[in-house]
Chain A
Amino acid sequence: MSSEQDHLKETDTEARFEFKKEEKSAFKADKGLTEETIRVISEDKDEPEWMLQRRLRALKQFQEMPMPTDWPGQPDLSEVDVAEIVPYIRPDVEVRGGVDDWTDLPDDIKDTFDKLGIPEAEKNALSGVGAQYESEVVYQNMQERWEEKGVVFCNMDEAVQDYEDIVREHFMTKCVPPSDNKFAALHGAVWSGGSFVYVPEDVTVEMPVQAYFRMNSEGMGQFEHTLIVAESGSEVHYIEGCSAPKYSAFNLHSGGVEVFVGEDAHVQYSTVQNWSKNTYNLNTKRAIVEKGGRMEWISGSMGSKATMLYPSSILKGRGASDNHITIAFAGEGQNIDTGAKVYHNAPNTKSTIESKSISKDGGRTNYRGLVHIADGASNSSTAVECDALMFDNESTSDTMPYMEINESTVDVAHEATVGKIGDEDIFYLQSRGLDDDDAKQMIVSGFIEPITEELPIEYAVELNRLVELEMEGSLG
């Protein structure tokens, strides 16, 4: 390792993401997955009977479903052995559901989030912040003025108790049923923590709400559930960030995200994901969009050993629309298999997908997408654009879009390009006095700009910083 990289290791960037804390938990489930484990988790959370029954049904589906192994060019999942996963760890916090004053957190947890910059982000520009440590939310805060308007932002376990009717109606029923895929079923069985966001009719939450997920323990699985219900005419922007330190054993992250976009409502969901490079990130995210509603997915996928994630939108009502903006960066040893799925199930629906990927030092990126235009979805349009940037000949970049069109009055376009980083561009920048690394850095920043400009400034800075670190090879 060069002295420059050594130097970087000592800066706070290394400290920010890669530090580990001694495991300290109030309750830790046994490794592996049995009906008994599920009952213990549910009991520990004091859940209503219906939720326990949903968990047990999901467990059964998980056990019956095969691993996804027959997708062309998919990441290798042979290392993922659920029997080796600790599915549930309750951190040692006094107040269940998290404290609402930051200073009440145990010092080591507080220290963790301080290093990640969570309190600053809150102070700066957010309507509310939730922070999850291991399996439970440890901190939750919502500005009063939003609470007064009936906006709910709380952790998912609490929502099961306090907003039982809404949760019972929406939780893994229509949007992400456990039968969707093996890891959605796993999630349904062992889910814990996550966020619940409810925005009443015609309320606009002007500032983003944010949740941060942190895995600290070796060999654990994190399965947070996010449920967003935006009633007619409402508007909200939800941001999540995630990270985990690297251990010798693999970690599994298998979250579930369900978004209900009411009539003429607008939801933006932004993710900056930076799991450690031994984490398998097998997530299911989906939105159902009613008439005139608008869903926006913005994701930056930087970390993880392997990611399989295809956020999807079901455009259910006339005139519903969807925008996807994704960026994937795969460095050494990483395989980022990501994309977008859109189902046009009503007339006059619109979608755009913009996907950017960068592969470097043997990294693999894959865009895997599906656009489905159902019979009856007349006058629908979709445009898909994928760009891949490759640094070297050890890296791989694949594009696998699927388009199913059952309707004639449609406008469907897909375009993809791939290219190496331009020697001429680098030469030009070098001739203006930049060194090789800075030139490349600048080209990549320009390449991902369409993504960063959609994010609040703190996140844009964060994403740029992560890309910078990837470029320097100093992460994970």
Chain B
Amino acid sequence: MAAQLPANLSPETVRTLSEERDEPEWLTQTRLDALEALETLDLPDVIQTPGRRWTNLEDLDFESLVDPLGAEEATERVTAEGVEVLDFETALAEHPDLVEERFGSVIDPQTNYLTALSVALFTTGTVVYVPEGVDATDVKIRTEMNGRSLFTHTLIVTEASSSVTILESIETGEEIEGNRYHSNLVEVAAGENSYVQYGSLQNLSENTYNVTLKRGRADTYASVNWIEGNIGSRLTRSDIETTLSGDSSESKIVGAFFGHDDQHFDVNARVWHEAEHTTADLVTRGVLDDRARSVYEGVQDVGREAWDTSSYQRENTLMLSDDSEADASPKLIINNHDTEASHSATVGQVDQEDLLYMTSRSIPERTARNMLVEGFFVPVLEEIAVDELREDIESLVAARLRE
């Protein structure tokens, strides 16, 4: 379903944004094309069953949420040896050809209404470029959102036989009245035999609508691994996707979320197996309290030419309250029979026997429950190579449990 073009958006707005950043003509044009496409593009698909849409993106009031010229933020970028971690203006000045070639190569700006809006209006961006053979750890991008809306774009390019771990975090700095909107697009182009682990942590204030699309393409022997923690926001729509386009490429998607009050998380993990001998592993764990709601879709799509595929998916939701709701739809789409694939999903509550065991050892019930919830996230936390991200998620979970 198409949303309306907000009246406060015009080609002039986009030109102003582009001119302020001294952008090349191709980028201005890409933004203008995206803006124009808004009139015809649809919102991304949400899961629908008879009589019900699981997430209502139609209700987003872009008119009041989007303030393109009032974006305020503070971004800190920590680089590592041999890697270039650049804001967009610098990247355009220093690597004009690279950015022109790669921008929009993994995520088509006109994929849907939300991506086009993001490309037309992004004011903050980071380019991470890892040259051939470089191994880098602990690249960090920390952003604080201060205005009504913020649109950001992250472009990661790894050359052959390089590796990098990246942590990107977003949180709210200054509190303001009313609702807010945050959008982030992340493109990963992983060259042959390169390794990317990209971790992200979202802890926005709970008056924020948060939309992110992260998509990677893995060349031969490459690995694209995603880790995502969603703690904050009013509503989050998050899509993490990998196209395994090179033979023997791999992807792991690890997700964790913790919802309370009336938070809504629409989390989607998708993998397309397009080449031979590719492997994917999707693991998501979430906890819901109060009236919080989660919608999960996982897709393992095995193409006709994807011989010798291995593809696994697990999703587990822990419900702490009767008023919460968890919806799950793990999908397998198999077009090549030379495949080993499985998926599973479970929903349940804190194990009563475990609880009894702990309380009988004189641990107060509340403490025991909190320990079990923290323990529930362990299998996901173990996958995280970046210490800081793991520790941050642990402490945010612990903080929420003590509220």
Contact = CB atoms under 8 A, between A and B. Distances in A.
Interface of A: 73, 181, 370, 375, 378, 388, 390-393, 395-421
Contacts of B336: 393
Contacts of A404: 49, 325, 327
B28 interface: no
A402 B322 contact: no
A418 B341 contact: yes
Contacts of A408: 319-322, 324, 349
A419 B304 contact: no
Contacts of A395: 337
Contact of B330 (A390, A401, A420): A401
Contact of A416 (B319, B321, B344): B344
A250 B341 CA distance: 36
Nearest to A414: B345
Contacts of B340: 418-419
Contact of B347 (A393, A396, A403): A403
Contact of B329 (A378, A391, A403, A413): A403
A403 B331 CA distance: 12
Contacts of A409: 322, 349
B395 interface: no
- Output the residue of B47, B334, B346 with the most chain A CB within 10 A: B334
B364 interface: no
Contacts of B328: 401-403, 405, 414
Contacts of B326: 403, 405
Contacts of B333: 73, 396, 398
B143 interface: no
Given A388-B334, A392-B337, A408-B321, A402 B346 contact: no
Contacts of A402: 47, 49, 327-329
B343 A416 contact: yes
A413 B344 contact: yes
A414 B342 contact: no
A404 B321 CA distance: 15
B343 A412 contact: no
B111 interface: no
A368 to B, nearest CB: 10
Interface string B39-50: 000000001011
B349 A416 contact: no
- Output the residue of A411, A414, A420, A421 with the most chain B CB within 10 A: A414
Contacts of A415: 342-344
- Output the residue of B331, B337, B340 with the most chain A CB within 10 A: B337
Nearest to A385: B344
Contact of A410 (B320, B331, B349): B349
A401 B348 CA distance: 17
Contacts of A391: 337
Contact of B332 (A375, A398, A412): A398
A409 B324 CA distance: 11
Contacts of B383: none
B239 interface: no
Given A375-B322, A410-B348, A420-B338, A403 B327 contact: yes
Contacts of A413: 344-346
Nearest to B45: A72
Contacts of A403: 326-329, 345, 347
In the complex, the 8 A-B pairs of residues with the closest C-beta atoms, listed nearest first: A390-B337, A408-B319, A412-B347, A399-B332, A420-B337, A417-B342, A415-B344, A405-B326
B317 interface: yes
A418 B332 contact: yes
B344 A414 contact: yes
B339 interface: yes
15 contacts: A390-B337, A392-B337, A393-B338, A395-B337, A396-B334, A398-B334, A401-B329, A404-B327, A407-B319, A409-B322, A410-B349, A413-B345, A416-B330, A418-B341, A421-B337
A405 B331 contact: no
B282 to A, nearest CB: 13
B10 interface: no
A357 to B, nearest CB: 10
A80 to B, nearest CB: 19
B338 A405 contact: no
B335 interface: yes
B49 A370 contact: yes
A69 B74 CA distance: 47
Nearest to B341: A418
A259 B186 CA distance: 51
A290 to B, nearest CB: 24
B263 to A, nearest CB: 16
A405 B304 contact: no
B154 to A, nearest CB: 29
A391 B338 CA distance: 9
A265 to B, nearest CB: 28
Contacts of A401: 328-331, 345
A398 B335 CA distance: 8
Contact of B327 (A73, A378, A397, A405): A405
Contacts of A392: 337
A413 B314 CA distance: 11
B306 to A, nearest CB: 10
A388 B47 CA distance: 23
Nearest to A373: B347
B94 to A, nearest CB: 44
A414 B340 CA distance: 17
A400 B319 CA distance: 23
B171 to A, nearest CB: 29
Given A408-B324, A415-B342, A417-B341, 14 more contacts: A393-B338, A396-B334, A398-B334, A402-B329, A403-B328, A403-B345, A403-B347, A405-B319, A408-B349, A409-B322, A412-B346, A412-B347, A418-B339, A419-B341
B305 to A, nearest CB: 9
A418 B334 CA distance: 8
Nearest to B328: A403
A416 B329 contact: no
Nearest to A383: B346
Nearest to B327: A404
A331 B330 CA distance: 25
